[in-house]
Amino acid sequence: MYYQYIPEGMEYPVLCRRLGTEKGDWVKNFLRYARGGFGMEEILLDWNEIARRYGKLLSLLACFHCYVHVGTCRISPDHHFLAYTVDTKGDEQFRLQIKDLRSGCVIPKVRVDGVVSLAWAQDGSTLFYTLSDKNQRPYRHTLFLVRCSNLGSDDIENITVFTESNSSFCVDITSTKDGKFITVYLIDAANPLDGLQRVWKRVSGVQYFLEHHHGLFYVLTNAPLSENKVWSGEGYYLASCRGEDLPTSNWQNIILPSEDLSIQDMDMFDGHLVLSLSKKGFSMLCSINLPVLVDCKHQLEIEDLDPWFFAMPSNLCNVVPGSNHDFHNSVYRAVLSSPVMPDVVVDYDMSSRRFSIVQQEEVRDFYDRTFPPTNQLDLNKNFGSQYQEDVQISESQRWKEYSDEYCCVRKEVISHDGVRVPLTILYSHTAWDKGQSPGLLKGYGAYGEVLDKSWCAEHLCLLDRGWVVAFADVRGGGGADSSWHKSGTSFNKLNSIYDFVSCGNYLIEEGYIHKDRLGAIGHSAGGLLVGATINMHPDLFRASILKVPFLDICNTLMDPSLPLTILDYEEFGNPQIQSEFELIFTYSPYDNISQGSCYPSMLVTASLHDSRVGFWEAAKWVAKVRGSTCPCCSRSVILKTNMAGGHFGEGGRYAQCEEAAYDYAFLFKAMGLLKIEK
């Protein structure tokens, strides 16, 4: 049994394992172990020890900043080796190391820099890994060397398996859930040197996610259907194919999402298939029994397969899958949360179609309020008797929400072109003062990423002081289907900015926030969103926070040697093409700073070792804003550069809390709300 936890008072987690005795009841075993019961705990990897070791080295070099991030951990199938990647600088150039768990020693000859992903073959001594290229493009590479390392002798052999030379594509490597194959190209995990088999011809803009189940391959894809199969929907569908039919791509049993549903992801188990779904922006989960007994060459819909839709909280919900590594398990674990519900770990038993709550994050200074599960989408109405909640609700089926203290509402804001933009608004029932409260608007709007609306304890210090926190799901981010993303990219990128402006105006016009007390925050591509909005409407925000922002778009995308540049052409456009350059130039934050305007107070952050957005972008923006704004404007423009860490901050949990405290202190001071206690 493998698990990790953060020791009290520590910054980073510890990876451990224990020998279990009662297979199938590991939760009780773990609780017994945690309380000092039987079983010897074996510490496999201590992030804190790694931080201390590198911290001592840095102190000798007169460097007072330490950063540690462990990227990927993979246990060999025979449980003898732990392969992991570690970044000690913040530039996401991870080093591969392999620890022999029998001796407790790290194998000295296996230290490879620039490793992105890992996968073990079934023999436990063959490890596949991917490398980043010379341009340091973590997770997105130009040159990929997927190598094979044999660990059983002093002679460590490296064999190049696959090289990707097209700079427009990247390669990742992973194993199917049953451990029998390694992808991108199919590699037999039992015979890793037998060669590669192509699953599907590569097409630009088309994605394939492959799983294997008892001789059948399942693929989740957005590839166009053949002429004799009609589907008018957007996004992904599911198909299956026998292994022997792969060369002819004879995909059958096309499973389509129902009306208003989109398939986001899948997870494979020995007896069940779990689908992550979205309906009108709401997250859902369902399981389907395997094997699929319906053998049909025509399209199927999800409800044709007797799905079990998992119970969810009534409020807006964020769903994060648990580890779920055991292919033979019949229990699916998920972490659910919402802006008014702390993280709750839920086990869904797909065989009995019942669920139980394992644990929920505790919040101090609150009275416990428990609620039975309800269905946010009224699945009984939409899917009939397939969703049933007739059993008596026990204490193990109740989660805690704080909707009596805090209100969470979802509105639809009309944008400039009539499109309805989802806006989630969070405030305190008692502290909020209509028309007078300050507020913070969050946005991202890129890469099809859904804005995180999970429980955040850091928001409480704002909400309890009367603040409103709002989340704008502008175009370019994730939505019900891929069309929401496409409508905010490339030639449509201005839609993201107009959506954000509309959401800000809505909060003021509807009296949620005082017109002179609205703040905005954006991270990375979200910084582009906030920066472009400020240029268009300098008076909309009183204060803004731009965290490692992407601001100098034209110059960055003109330099193909920078990480992510070529891959970002699909998202933002290629400025080396005249028409696309002209469009990018119209909204690029650095190129559109208003001369003589009074900009809001700004906190702009950068990280010295950030490999995704150069620290110079924030520095150039701040310098130009300071030199361009109205001389009579006394609002501060602050540049805060992190000398340790990277694009995602310093990594440790306490460092993240300190960063949030700094951000919020800036907002209070910028809006004249900071009270100095003597």
| Span 102-136, pLDDT tens digits | 989 998 878 888 898 899 999 888 888 888 877 76
Q: Is the pLDDT of residue 497 over 90?
A: yes
Tokens of 330: 């019949």
* 255 vs 298: which has the higher pLDDT: 255
pLDDT at position 254: 80
- Mean pLDDT value of segment 330-346: 95
Closest CA to 529 of 481, 467, 472: 472
pLDDT at position 366: 57
Query: Domains of the chain by range and CATH?
Result: 406-547+599-667 (3.40.50.1820)
Q: What are the beta bridge partners of residue 409?
A: 425
Spatial separation of the C-alpha atoms in residues 440 and 442, rounded to whole Å: 7
- Bridge pairing between strands 115-120 and 105-113: unpaired
| Span 453-469, pLDDT tens digits | 999 999 999 999 999 99
Task: Look up tokens 């007994």; give the residue.
Answer: 293
pLDDT at position 506: 98
DSSP state of 525: H
Mean pLDDT is lowest, of 381-385, 395-399, 479-483, 559-563, for 381-385
pLDDT at position 36: 47
Tokens of 10: 């520590």
Share of the chain above pLDDT 70, in %: 84
Share of the chain above pLDDT 90, in %: 52
Mean pLDDT is lowest, of 183-197, 268-282, 291-305, for 291-305
Q: Is the pLDDT of residue 5 over 70?
A: yes
Spatial separation of the C-alpha atoms in residues 639 and 263, rounded to whole Å: 41
pLDDT at position 554: 96
- Mean pLDDT value of segment 243-264: 80
Computed from CA positions of residues 227, 231, 235, 238, in that sequence, does the dihedral angle turn out positive or negative? negative
pLDDT at position 620: 97
Contact indicator for 466, 431 with CB cutoff of 8 Å: yes
Q: Is the pLDDT of residue 20 over 90?
A: no
Confidence label for 378 from pLDDT (cuts 50, 70 and 90): very low
Phi-psi group of 265: left, alpha or beta (phi > 0 → left; psi -120 to 50 → alpha; rest → beta): beta
Contact indicator for 284, 264 with CB cutoff of 8 Å: no
Tokens of 86: 């570690």
| Span 589-644, pLDDT tens digits | 999 998 888 999 999 999 998 889 999 999 999 999 999 988 888 899 999 999 88
Contact indicator for 420, 414 with CB cutoff of 8 Å: yes
Tokens of 647: 């694009």
Phi (first) and psi of residue 217, to 5 degrees: -100, 130
Computed from CA positions of residues 96, 97, 101, 107, in that sequence, does the dihedral angle turn out positive or negative? positive
Q: Could you give the angle at the alpha carbon of 475 between the alpha carbons of 474 and 479, nearest 5°?
A: 90
- The set of residues, in sequence order, having a beta carbon less than 8 Å from that of 121 and lying 6+ positions away, is 127, 128, 148, 182, 187, 189, 190, 192
Spatial separation of the C-alpha atoms in residues 497 and 519, rounded to whole Å: 16
* 137 vs 300: which has the higher pLDDT: 300
- Mean pLDDT value of segment 330-340: 95
| Span 634-663, pLDDT tens digits | 899 999 999 888 888 776 788 888 999 999
Confidence label for 538 from pLDDT (cuts 50, 70 and 90): very high
Contact indicator for 311, 375 with CB cutoff of 8 Å: yes
| Span 427-448, pLDDT tens digits | 999 999 999 999 999 999 999 9
- Mean pLDDT value of segment 246-269: 83
| Span 58-109, pLDDT tens digits | 444 444 456 788 889 999 999 999 999 999 888 888 999 999 999 899 988 7
pLDDT at position 379: 37
Predicted model pTM: 0.88
| Span 545-564, pLDDT tens digits | 999 999 999 999 999 888 88
